[in-house]
Each structure stands twice: as structure tokens, then as C-alpha cells.
Amino acid sequence: MKIAIVGAGKLGTKLIQTILSGEHSITIIDKKEDVITNLSNHYDVMTMCANAKSRTVLEECDIKSYDYMVAVTGSDESNLLISKVAKKLGCKRTIARVRNPEHIDQLPFLRELMEVDYIVNPDLTTAMQIYKYLAKKYTATTAVFFAGRVSMCSISAAYAKIESGTPVSNIKDILGNIILVAISKKGGKVIIPKSDTVISEDDELFIIGETEQIQTITAKQGKHINETNINNVMLLGGGKTAFFLGKMLLDFGINVKIIDNNRERCQYLSSHLDDAMVLLGDATDLTLLTEENIANMDAVVTCTGFDEENLLLALTAKNYGVSDVIAKISRESYAELIGLMEIDMTINPVSICITNIMRYLHGSADFVASQLIQGQAQILEVLINEKMRICSNKIKNVELPKGTIIGAINRGAEILIPDGNTSFKKGDRVIIVSMLDDVPEIERFFSKK
């Protein structure tokens, strides 16, 4: 495919990294010469230092020959205008990032007016994932795949009579021919298990297997979905993510308190979120947090514009004894550090946005469906074709992305619970589980040869 990317910021650069390994011809357009020079030195892409709002620029790059144009500059208006011009000049499909809350209620109208095929909003999508984790958190998750022939459910380790200290490698000996794809630790943090991961008796285990086997395992437990009992949530930082999340939580009946240090932003939030308590102040001020009863909050979300501040505030909330703490983190370089912390959930807006864009680029032919595990891990269903690099290879011979598990394979009339000797074949439908932030790496892994 020929793909033009307008805007080489954090999102644009990550998109280049994600799709570069596939059979794609990429052109990146940005107004900043130093940014374009840096990209030319690091990536095998065509570059243009120009303003893509100009019709002449788009004509010079022959935009009519492109399959997709992705506009991810820092301006909603520019992204929409560039998309419209590109479409008028013959580009097959356009994608635009639109972040302004004022535009959300009129997205269908804007799509039609500006001829945009797909709109992404990282703040709204991030807020939605946090909302699902908080307001719709499941004590058990059930899902079915392959027309009901494969199922996933959660069971407690204690119910399954799995003793603390049992290694994951022994699970099949206890439960039969199933795959353990995720573990929810005490407090709600989800992890993707490794072969040397050990189980605690208070763990919640997410298992995938043939439906008959899963039903046998869960028949006596009587699992059902329960909604959360969270009543009070504090949002530290009053940006777009806080606005979208606050609105969702208020609509659900949860009490919301927002702290931000920008007076104008606080006034905006107060006028648009009638039932929220909005406070002007420094969220790093421990005296203020104590006065506002952070210790009595059911959950705290740190969503300032700075990763370091969000991590510090998340650790502070944990120190106050808050049960559920979520931090918005955009830098992947912090992943290892975050793994050492007692933060219940971290969410990367860039990764989520990339995932949505990649799914649209792939279309239904490759990535068929996706579901979430407690808002932290993602289940993908992928259709294997002969152009994929992993086709005809055994699982043990391919280097799966870190933290990835193959849960099941549907091959014609056959259901396979895979092991290392199982091969990927053309036409296979494969269930993959990974952490939410790792999904772009999965997209890369299943790209073309």
C-alpha cells in the first residue's frame, strides 16, 4: 500500500515505526525541516518538508496514487482540511486525528462534510478504556470465538485448587487442554504469564480452550459478570482525557473530583461538567491531596500532560492506600520501570491510537475482531494469509513479540489448542492475547513478508 502521513510528531513517528516493516510505501510530510531531516536519517521513507494544506504540495507528491492519507498534525482543523483536499485530489481513503471535545458531538457531520473516511481521537479512546476498567470492571470475563467452539472465561486459582507457587507450566496438568492467557493479580492488575510465572491462590486466571472443556471447568463455579462498586474517583489533571472520562463517569453515577493548576481550564471543566467538583490547585501538593480526602477515593487517575508527573502522582495515590490507580503514560521507554511499580493500570494514548489506525489500514481481511480483558490486555482474532511472514512457520520457530500468547487456532473444521510445534497455515484464524500497549507490535509482527 502507498501511505502518506502528514505530521511527524509523537503519533506520526510511532505510526511510521509500526507500518514500516510491511510491504508499504510511506511518504511523510511535515513543515519542520529538522524533523524531516531526522526521519530521513533513521527510516527508509520518502520525506517532504512542506505544508500539506497546500493543494500544490499534495499534487507534487501525487496524492491520487495513494491508498491512504493519515493527517495527524497538532491541529484538528488542519487535519480535516488536509483530508478533504487529499480526497478531492483522488486519494482513496483518508484518516484524520480530531481531539477537540467541541467536535465530538458532530463527528458524523464532519466526516461527511470533510470527506474523511476514519477519525481517531486518542483522548476519547483513552478515556473509554479507563472507563471500561473502572465503571464496567468485570470480576469474570467470558468470551466466545469461532462460532462458539472456543471460549474464554476467568476462574479463581483457589476455586481451581491451584496452590500458591504453582508454575504456569503446570496448568495443563491441572486443568487439561487449555491455555492460560492472562492473570489478574490482587488489586486488579493484569499480566500476561510467562512459563516461569508462579500463581498465587488469590489470582484470577483467564483461560481459553474448547467450549466443552471450559464449561466443564466452570460448571461448579457459577461465574457471572458483576459491575464495579466504585463511587468516588479523583482525576489529577484536567486535560481532554479528564474531560471525556469525567463525563462518562458522571453519566454512570460516579462522583468525580478534578484537580488542575490552570484557571482557564478549570473554568471550562466547571461549565461543561455540571456535577463534577473542579478544584484549582497543584496536584503534587500533598497537603491539598490530604485535604481533598485522596485516601478515601475508590480510584485515582493521573492524566496530566507529563508522564513523570503522572507516575509520581500514581505512586503518591498508592501510598495513600487507593485501591485502583491508573496512570496515563505516553513514553514506551518507561515500560520496564512501570513494571516494578504497584500501579494497577497504565495506558498509552499513542499505542491505542496506533492500534485503531492499523486496524483500519488492515481492514477486516486480517484483524477480524478484538476484545479487552479488564481494560488492560487485548484479545485479537487474526486471519492468516500467505503474504504474512509467519505463514507456514511453527510457533517455536518464530519470535513472538514479548508478552504475547497464542490462545487457539481455528483451521477449517478443526480447533487447535497450540503448542510450540503448531504451524501457522493460510486460512487459519488465530486468537492472540497481549497487553494493550503491545498491540502495535502485534500489528507489526503479523504484517506482510
pLDDT tens, position by position, 419-441: 889 999 999 999 988 887 676 67
Among the residue ranges 62-71, 173-182, 245-254, the one predicted with the least confidence is: 173-182
Contact in structure between 145 and 151 (CB atoms under 8 Å): yes
How does pLDDT run across 321-351, given as a tens digit for each residue? 998 899 999 887 776 677 677 788 888 888 8
CA separation for the pair 392, 380 (Å, rounded): 20
pLDDT reading at 180 higher than 80? yes
Question: Is residue 368 very low, low, confident or very high in pLDDT (cuts 50, 70, 90)?
Answer: low
CA separation for the pair 268, 237 (Å, rounded): 13
Q: How many helices (H) and strands (E) does the chain have?
A: 16, 24
Grid coordinates in use for 407? 490462545
Q: What is the mean pLDDT of the chain?
A: 86
Q: Which of the residue ranges 135-149, 173-187, 197-211, 255-269 has the most confident prediction, judged by mean pLDDT?
A: 255-269
Burial of 161: CB neighbours in 10 Å, binned 0-12, 13-18, 19+:
exposed
Q: Which of the residue ranges 183-192, 266-275, 321-330 has the most confident prediction, judged by mean pLDDT?
A: 266-275
Looking at residue 400, its pLDDT comes to 81
**What is this structure's pTM?**
0.71
Segment 354-372 mean pLDDT:
67
The kind and range of the H/E element at 59 are helix 55-60
| Domains of the chain with bracketed CATH | 2-120 (3.40.50.720), 127-133+228-340 (3.40.50.720), 149-218 (3.30.70.1450), 353-446 (3.30.70.1450)
Looking at residue 291, its pLDDT comes to 96
Beta bridge partners of 179: 208
